Structure 1
Amino acid sequence: MTNISFLHPEFFWLFLALPLAIGWYFYKRKEQSPTLKMSSLTPFGNQTSLVAKLKPLLFVLRLLALSSIIVALARPRTVDVSAKSRVTKGIDIVMAIDVSGSMLAKDLKPNRLEALKRVAATFVEDRINDRIGLVVYAGESYTRTPVTSDKTVVLQSLKTIEYDDTIIADGTAIGVGLATAINRLRDSKAKSRIIILLTDGVNNSGTIDPRMASDIAEQYGIKVYTIGIGTNGVAPFPIGKKNGEFVYQNMPVEIDEKLMREIAKTTNGKYFRATSNKKLEEIYEEINQLETTEIEEQKYFNYDEKFKPLVLLAMLLLAIEMLLKNTVFRSFI
């Protein structure tokens, strides 16, 4: 009964009339019974018939009937709510990730690449209704995961991203990486298409100018959010290997922030600078808030009216009252 609601609860105010009816009943009680005046009642003793004692039952039945009618007027009912949601403005997202050797720098913990992978994984998990793809680039680029709604595939692919100069030439080809990401989105039918382009250096390789690539993105209506990752000043960079382990040396951090700002401005995006793990997390959270997916929810209400049994109960109680009034309580002293 806990899920019952009332469409017209204002009718419960009628219950305030019941105490008045009870008071009126007791006030007029003697006038409702026939009386006989006699000089002496001694021959009759002090006996009252059982029928006379039960006569107030008629009034109780009427009160119960009135109470049932009042509750019925309040329209008790239960409701079963079902909801259906559909995405009305889907977003296709491609994350273009720099995997050059400098992404192993340890100014972010444990290094830039691993810090990025952790934050990006959380971002992917939060984008429940969107499609996401991955592009990696260094001296060249390739599509690691096409745009897909299968988050398990994206997360697994993201988890296994590593620096490997035997697979992809070292360097930082920002223009090539951006162009590859654009190619994954140009035929997309999504209402909104965005690229999250991350780098930790300056454009020093590739055959495509980054500014030309940003112009192409603008023509396709693709928004680019750019992120420069790396602390200010110097950071421990890998400079080689010794006994199979990377050797690190402090070197100046160089990020072409002017270029990254131009790309973002051209495409109506925004540039961010991630100088720490916490800042990187905040950047992805902000992008997550900036690019919201519109969802339309339709709710269906199935009402089950409960007033009919109360009306039937009231009618039954009134019928019983009328029957008793015209039979058992029809005539007595």
Structure 2
Amino acid sequence: MDKLSFLHPQFLLLLAVLPLLAFWLYKNRKQQTATVNMSSIQGLAATATWITRFKPYLVVLRLIALALIIIALARPRTVDISNQTKTTRGIDIVMAVDLSSSMLAKDLNPNRMEALKTVASQFVDDRPNDRIGIVVYAGEAYTKIPVTTDKALVKQVISELNYDPTVEDGTAIGMGLATAVNRLKESKAKSRVIILLTDGVNNAGFIEPETAADLANEYGIKVYTIGLGSNGMALFPVGVNPDGSLAYQNLPVKIDEGLMKSIAKKTHGKYFRATSNSRLEEIYNEINQMETTEIEELKYYDYDEKYRPFVLLALLLIVIELSLRQTIYRSIV
């Protein structure tokens, strides 16, 4: 949208002088006209016409012309941002999510799995310029969706995440991390990041978590680790009731925080502990702030100069004033 602006707005300050000039001209108006001294004017009848009445206002034309010249000096113009181009150097992110049965524990509302899905979906919305992929793991690990710019698809995959009883249960942290590294090792992105989330200890898989961390570090991939679960006891699923619903029991929360801290430190990332829904949301927001995307924005400005009409009108008024003074109002004295 066009917007009026002035290239040299300081010239507009001169407009404040015009009222003072007008006052000075008014006070000295009698000195601006030639006079004839006569002993008496009793024999001269006053024959005022519109021409004689208009003469004092000739100076108004001059003042208006000065005002227009001042505005022209300020260079009024409109600007139209006709084109803009964004060049983005994005970040490739893989979220490695624990889908073991313990993710159904109810120490977060309504459970760990649903709390994660809500926060992860919002995280995807906050990364419009990045590619995101999903790796899931329990007793084994696999890629749910490779890194992609299709955010709608990523959010759909996140919404469908759930514990699958047909998959071997367990927590193969090393397998999950290694699979995520495999999705990013060929990436040409400016930065490559893995967000590794677990709520337990490594008890499955044939790749040690430390080995997978070494692999991530070798490829220059940063790993943020998140331990999900409250402190103390939590309701964990321990079986299935006769009606098909899950049976829950209070059990101690066990997270290998030492391992999570070691992975984060080795890959120049950071470890977080999420003990509540709000804390989990804060963690993803913090990661979102730390991993910023570079955006180069090019704007093309189209300026339309508007000073010419002011100059032309000012010249016209000056010509009119001078013409009137040299013709109709020309003095013989």
TM-score w.r.t. length of structure 2: 0.94
SS of the residue aligned with 1:312?
helix
Residues 1:66 and 2:60 aligned together? no
Aligned equivalent of 1:143: 143
CA deviation after TM superposition for structure 1 residue 87, in Å: 4.4
2:108 match: secondary structure: coil
Aligned to 2:328: 328
1:170: which partner in 2?
169
CA separation in 2, counterparts of 1:26 and 1:235? Answer: 91
Name the CA distance, whole Å, in 2 between partners of 1:79 and 1:196. Answer: 45
Paired position in structure 2 for 1:95 = 95
| 1:33 corresponds to | 33
Query: 1:192-211, aligned counterparts within 5 Å?
Result: 192-211=191-210
For the 8 Å contact 2:34–2:331, the answer to whether it is kept is: no
Superposition RMSD in Å: 1.8
Deviations 1:263-294 (A, max 9, x none): 11111111111111111111111111111111
Q: Deviations over 1:124-150 (max 9, x none)?
A: 110111100001100011111110011
Cα offsets for 1:50-103 (capped at 9, x unmatched): 322221232111111111111111111122235635344310000000001111
User: Aligned partner of 2:270: which letter?
Assistant: K
Native 8 Å contact 2:77 2:307 kept in 1: yes
- 1:214 is aligned to 213
Over 3 Å counting, the alpha-carbon distance change for 1:21 and 1:285 in structure 2 is closer
- Secondary structure in structure 1 of the residue aligned to 2:200: coil
Q: Find the residue that maps to 2:309 and give its secondary structure.
A: helix
- How far is 1:152 from its partner? 0.1
Aligned to 1:186: 185
Per the alignment, do residues 272 and 25 of structure 1 end up closer, same or farther by CA in structure 2, a change over 3 Å counting? closer
Between the aligned partners of 1:172 and 1:46, the Cα distance in structure 2 is 113
Counterparts of 1:84 and 1:35, CA distance in 2? 67
Matched to 1:95, the amino acid is M
* Structure 2 letter corresponding to 1:195: I
1:238-268 Cα deviation digits (max 9, x unpaired): 1110110000011111111111111111111
- Partner-residue secondary structure (3-state), 1:42: coil
The aligned counterpart of 2:302 is: 302
Deviations for 1:105-164, whole angstroms, at most 9, x for unmatched residues? 111111111111111111111011110000110001111111001100000010011111
Matching residue's letter, 1:90: G
Matched residue of 2:227: which SS?
strand
CA distance in 2, matches of 1:271, 1:37: 102
Moved more, 206-215 or 2-11: 2-11
- For the 8 Å contact 1:87–1:129, the answer to whether it is kept is no
Query: Aligned partners of 1:253, 1:96: CA distance in 2, in Å?
Result: 20
Amino acid at match of 1:176: M
Q: Cα–Cα, structure 1 residues 121 and 80, in superposed 2: closer, same or farther, change >3 Å?
A: same
1:233 corresponds in structure 2 to: 232
- Note closer, same or farther for the CA distance 1:249–1:62 as it changes in structure 2 (3 Å cut): same
CA drift at 1:14:
2.3
State the identity as a percent. Answer: 61
Unmatched tracts of structure 2, length 5 or more:
none
Question: Number of residue pairs matched?
Answer: 331
Partner secondary structure for residue 211 of structure 2: helix
CA spacing shift, 1:275–1:83, aligned 2, 3 Å: farther
- Residues 200 and 35 of structure 1, relative CA distance in 2, 3 Å threshold: closer
8 Å contact from structure 1 (residues 264, 270) kept in 2: yes
What is the deviation of 1:3?
A: 3.4
**Rounded Cα–Cα distance in structure 2 between residues aligned with 1:281 and 1:49:** 85
Residue number in structure 1 paired with 2:293: 293
Pick closer, same or farther for the CA change 1:139–1:53 going to 2, 3 Å. Answer: same
TM-score, length-scaled by structure 1: 0.94
Runs of 4+ in 1 over 6 A off after TM superposition: none
Alpha-carbon spacing, 1:258–1:50, altered in 2? closer, same or farther (3 Å): closer
SS at match of 2:186: coil
Q: SS of 2:43's equivalent?
A: helix
1:20, distance to aligned residue in structure 2 (A): 4.1
